[in-house]
Amino acid sequence: MNKEEKIDSIDLDQDIIFEHKGYYTFLRDNSILTLFETDKLTDKINHPISLRCLTSDELKYIHLKRDCLVETLSIDITNDKLEEIFEWYDQLRKVGNSYSSLNLKQLNLCRYYLTISDFESHFYYFNPSDKYQIKQENEYTTTLLLSQKEENYWLLRHSLLSTGENIDDGNKLREKGIRYYLFSFTNKILSITDVLITFSIGIGYHTEITGWHPCFIDCLESILTHCSIPYNTHIEINKINF
């Protein structure tokens, strides 16, 4: 791969994480994604092409990729390894271990490689650019949330913002490396509160209540803390039939 490669479209599936393994980092400029070698970015404060100043959140994203490259170079990241990484994190958090108490080296593997889709396997059943499918998902998950009849149960789901006005708009958002999700939970009056999560390659995950985070784990944990929601009330959706 060349040192600099302009990306016209991007698949957000896990394969891209396997391939890059920290070697390469996306940066965005005027909605254009360009792929750079990570080690050529770590001492930069300006975008290599436009020369605009990189934001503090973009620099955090670059540093996360650099640390990924340094710390996981000798680790063979496979689907089985990813499942092992997720199970380690998920089980420890479920039994009450705090985020800050987890082994840092193992936790960093989670920060580097786990995405929002690792927490919701039902995401693989849906085309996030298809408005009809996302409406189906939202109807199903709304029913599931309200059936809990207790506050602070939560799950993750796609937002209709990812579909745009039509499927072409949704595909354009996907090509630009942008996707929208909802962190949805039952509140004190047993209705549903939604926290919008924006994912943007080249910077990370954003919510209005917690700001930008370079990886999904940090974003998730910040939402849980801000909303005073325990991790172990996550509703697991093992299989969906439509």
**What is the per-residue pLDDT across 45-73, written as a single tens digit (0 to 9) for each?**
999 999 999 999 999 999 998 898 888 87
2: closest CA among 34, 42, 48?
34
Task: Name which residue leads in pLDDT, 36 or 219.
Answer: 219
Q: Determine the pLDDT at residue 20.
A: 57
- pLDDT average, residue stretch 123-131: 78
- Distance CA(183)–CA(173), nearest Å, equals 20
- pLDDT average, residue stretch 2-20: 42
Would you kindly state where each structural domain of the chain is located, as residue ranges? 4-71, 78-114, 120-233
Band of residue 238 on the pLDDT scale cut at 50, 70, 90: low
Report the alpha-carbon angle 132-181-41, nearest 5: 130
What is the CB neighbour count within 10 angstroms for residue 36? 22
Query: In the predicted model, is pLDDT for residue 8 greater than 70?
Result: no
234: closest CA among 116, 107, 139?
116
Q: Determine the pLDDT at residue 217.
A: 95
Band of residue 151 on the pLDDT scale cut at 50, 70, 90: very high
Overall size of the chain counted in residues? 242
Categorise residue 42: left if φ over 0, alpha if ψ from -120 to 50, beta otherwise: alpha
Query: In the predicted model, is pLDDT for residue 105 greater than 80?
Result: yes
Say which amino acid occupies 48.
P
* Beta strands 4-7 and 178-186, pairing class: unpaired
Tell me the average pLDDT of the chain: 84
- pLDDT average, residue stretch 22-43: 84
- pLDDT average, residue stretch 211-225: 96
Query: In the predicted model, is pLDDT for residue 17 greater than 70?
Result: no
- pLDDT average, residue stretch 104-124: 87
Task: Name which residue leads in pLDDT, 136 or 5.
Answer: 136
Global pTM value: 0.88
- Distance CA(155)–CA(179), nearest Å, equals 17
Helix (H/G/I), strand (E/B), else coil: 34: strand
